[in-house]
Amino acid sequence: MGRMHETPGHLRRPAHDTAPPTALTIAGSDSGGSAGMHADLRAFFSCGVHGMTAVTAVTVQNTVGVTGLVEIPPETVAAQIGAVATDIGVDAAKTGVLSSATTIEAVLAACDEHGIGRGRRTPFVVDPVAASRSGEPLLRPDALDALRDEAFPRATLVTPNLDEVRLLTGIDARSRDDLLDAAKAVHDFGPDWVLIKSGHLLDDPKCVDLLFDGTDAIQLPGPRYSTVHTHGAGDVFASAITAALAKGASMPDAVAAGKRFVTRSVEHAYPLGAGVGPVSTFWRVSPRSL
């Protein structure tokens, strides 16, 4: 195998002979290119890590909504995780759409086998994606229980939005003051860290998210932009955090880096189609430089 990588003496050496950090997203596709694994891969790229995918579901989706979802067989999802973990190696992993309890069981078994999860070699970010921005459910009812009871205890970090907090805990957070109670209730499900996202507090003039480790709470303040184009904001946030973890950042530093990244992404969100446009994952690249 080593011979494949040898550079013949008469050719120029490539610029890199070491690999960048690697990150894996275990998530669904979005045909509109705004959310899911498409957003995750672009955020990984933009944050300087090599992105890899274990596709869990194919959605038929555009800026208006989701009209179809086909699940990938759970054994194929597990095989994708095994294929990249055994050959390339995974420095950090995240989940997006995990639409059924069977898929969740297969993903967790593969993660266990390859050292991905809380207290293991590879940090594991579980984003409990329950519905699309336009409200269509992206998981079966049994998946929510499996996420809470099986995936959360194995997560290094879980990143619910306020709708997901309501579904998982019954807590209906209406203001910044309610976020700590929400974080405590989610932390009781067993992850190391909880990040409560505040995008849905539409009356709040700022977007102040909350990171909690069971003892201390850290506020992550950011401006609130006046835009409807926030499709994929949650995916991009979790992916930017995962990229920072892949580079070896501590959790507070990774989440702070993710918050800076997603805030700029919302700032540069753009209209697309007839519905909700995406946050920009390429604000670091000026269109004029292309």
Ligand X SMILES: Nc1ncnc2c1ncn2[C@@H]1O[C@H](COP(=O)(O)OP(=O)(O)OP(=O)(O)O)[C@@H](O)[C@H]1O
Which tokens is 52 given?
A: 């890899």
How distant is the alpha carbon of residue 252 from its chain centre?
16
Q: Which is nearer to ligand HMH, 21 or 128 (CB)?
A: 128
DSSP letter for each residue of 132-184: -TTS-B-S-HHHHHHIIIIIGGG-SEE---HHHHHHHH-----SGGGHHHHHH
What is the closest distance, in whole angstroms, from the C-beta atom of residue 258 to ligand X in the complex?
8
Listed in sequence order, the residues at least 6 apart from 143 whose beta carbon sits closer than 8 Å to its beta carbon are 98, 99, 100, 101, 103, 104
Q: Which is nearer to ligand X, 51 or 232 (CB)?
A: 232
Question: Interface with ligand X by CB under 6 A: which residues?
Answer: 35, 133, 161, 197-200, 207, 209, 222-225, 227, 230-235, 237, 259, 262-263, 266
What is the closest distance, in whole angstroms, from the C-beta atom of residue 133 to ligand X in the complex?
5
63 binds, among ligand X, ligand HMH, none (CB under 5 to 8 A by kind): none
Question: Interface with ligand HMH by CB under 6 A: which residues?
Answer: 27-30, 35-36, 59, 61, 96-97, 129, 132-133, 232, 234-235
Q: Which is nearer to ligand HMH, 21 or 38 (CB)?
A: 38
For the chain, the distance separating the N- and C-terminal CA atoms, rounded to the nearest angstrom, is 37
Q: Which is nearer to ligand X, 73 or 273 (CB)?
A: 273
Amino acid at 155: A
What is the closest distance, in whole angstroms, from the C-beta atom of residue 84 to ligand X in the complex?
24
Angle 36-46/251-267 helices, nearest 10 degrees?
110
> Cβ-closest residue to ligand HMH?
36
Angle 74-87/101-113 helices, nearest 10 degrees?
20
Q: Which is nearer to ligand X, 69 or 262 (CB)?
A: 262
What is the closest distance, in whole angstroms, from the C-beta atom of residue 285 to ligand X in the complex?
20
Q: Which is nearer to ligand X, 106 or 125 (CB)?
A: 125
What is the closest distance, in whole angstroms, from the C-beta atom of residue 40 to ligand HMH in the complex?
9
Neighbours of 254 (CB within 10 A): 26
30 binds, among ligand HMH, ligand X, none (CB under 5 to 8 A by kind): ligand HMH
Sign (positive or negative) of CA dihedral 13, 18, 20, 25 = positive
202 burial class (0-12, 13-18, 19+ CB within 10 angstroms)?
exposed
What is the closest distance, in whole angstroms, from the C-beta atom of residue 220 to ligand X in the complex?
7
